């Protein structure tokens, strides 16, 4: 199973789409001052952790 490590300061609140019209559920997170957008394929156990992030949070998340 793939792993993704997100580390840095959250610069915008994440957005999630647990029921997309196509594809698998995902969450989008903007990290650091360069505003890199990370779209993470999320599962039921990781989506709540991603949704709980707030602007300014400094986190390292391991997404499975």
Is 54 within the bounds of a domain?
yes
> Which helix (DSSP H) or strand (DSSP E) does residue 10 occupy?
strand 4-17
Is 63 within the bounds of a domain?
no
Give the pLDDT band (50/70/90) at residue 61: low
Is 13 within the bounds of a domain?
yes
Instruction: Give the residue from 28, 33, 41 showing the smallest Cα distance to 11.
Output: 33
Is 64 within the bounds of a domain?
no
Number of domains present in the structure of the chain: 1
pLDDT per position as a tens digit, 4-60: 556 677 777 777 777 888 887 777 777 776 666 666 666 666 667 777 777 777 765
Tell me if 53 sits within 8 A of 59, measured CB to CB: yes
- Domain span including residue 42: 4-58
Q: What's the pLDDT at 22?
A: 85
């Amino acid at each position: 199973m793939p792993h993704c490590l997100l580390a840095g300061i959250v610069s915008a609140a994440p957005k999630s789409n647990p029921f997309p019209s196509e594809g698998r559920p995902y969450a989008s997170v903007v990290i650091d001052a360069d505003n890199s957008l990370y779209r993470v394929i999320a599962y039921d156990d990781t989506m709540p952790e991603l949704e709980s992030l707030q602007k300014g949070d400094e986190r390292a998340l391991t997404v499975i």
